[in-house]
Amino acid sequence: MLDFILRFAIKRNILVLVLVLGVSALGLWNFTKLPIDAVPDITNVQVMINTDAPGYTPLEVEQRISYPLETALAGLPNLEGTRSVSRYGLSQVVAVFSDNTDVYFARQLVNERLSAAKSE
C-alpha cells in the first residue's frame, strides 16, 4: 500500500503539489475564522438583585430584605447557592447557577420568584 502511494506521488507530482497547496490554503482560511479569546470567560452564571432600602441599618436590611429574598430563591432549578451583602440602605443578593444554565432562563426564574415574593 505504501509502495502504491509513493509511486502515485512520484508519477503525478504536480497533482500532489496542487492538493497540498489547496489543503494548506483551506487551513489558513479556516484559521482566520477561528474564534480565539485572549482571556476566556470563566465567570459562573449569576443573577444579582440590588435593593435600595434608605434608612435601614444593616441588621434591618438583612432581616427584612436579604433573608426573605434568599428564602424565596431557595429551590430554584440548577441553583448552586446564594450570597448576600447587607449594608446601610442597600441589600445585594447574588444567586449562582450551574454553568450549563442559560443566563436568560436563570433571570426569568429569579424574576418569577421575585414577583411571587412581592405579592406575599
> With a cut of 70, which residues of the chain have pLDDT below it?
120
The 10 Å Cβ neighbour count of residue 50 is 10
85 phi/psi in degrees, rounded to 5: -130, 125
3-class DSSP assignment, residue 54: coil
pTM of the model: 0.65
- Report the distance separating Cα 27 and Cα 43, nearest Å: 32
The contacts of residue 22 (CB under 8 Å, 6+ apart) are none
- Report the distance separating Cα 72 and Cα 109, nearest Å: 11
Give the single-character DSSP code of 68.
H
- At residue 117, the pLDDT reads 80
